[in-house]
Structure 1
């Protein structure tokens, strides 16, 4: 049975925007963290089991969405309290501490 591939139109003007680590975008302090940066959580948006403000952790990956509004993405963090909950950009606020 052949695999059917769906063709996707690539003419959207949003396609040109692609966030990259270290690129200045409109998030908490204007700069995205890099992998292995240390961050402190300032505020977490609506989450059923949020991380408490003031918690610190190590950034493992930064994923900015290629399509959609600029500045939206996720940051994967290994928190010092043992959890590994992602931050949602731009809803969650953080600061880079190291």
Structure 2
């Protein structure tokens, strides 16, 4: 289960550590659908491994955010980790 109340870095790392190589992202899609499915302000639609979560607030305009959940195969890029580069913290790993 994905914890949507965790901080952004922890949530990103949790998502990126779930195997989701292109063509095999169904488990991650299941987890995302579960995580957003209970949010009362969203309508969640699933088509294969595509998740659409949208508001129906009756407003004239919406903001669209699109992304993908498939990744490249594992190659010394899992688990994710944070790295310091010139004094700034970055997430490093597959899917980041």
Using the size of structure 1 for normalisation, the TM-score is 0.24
State the structure with more CA Rg: 1
Which has a greater percent of helix? 2
Larger relative strand fraction: 1
Q: What TM-score do the two structures reach when normalised by structure 2?
A: 0.24
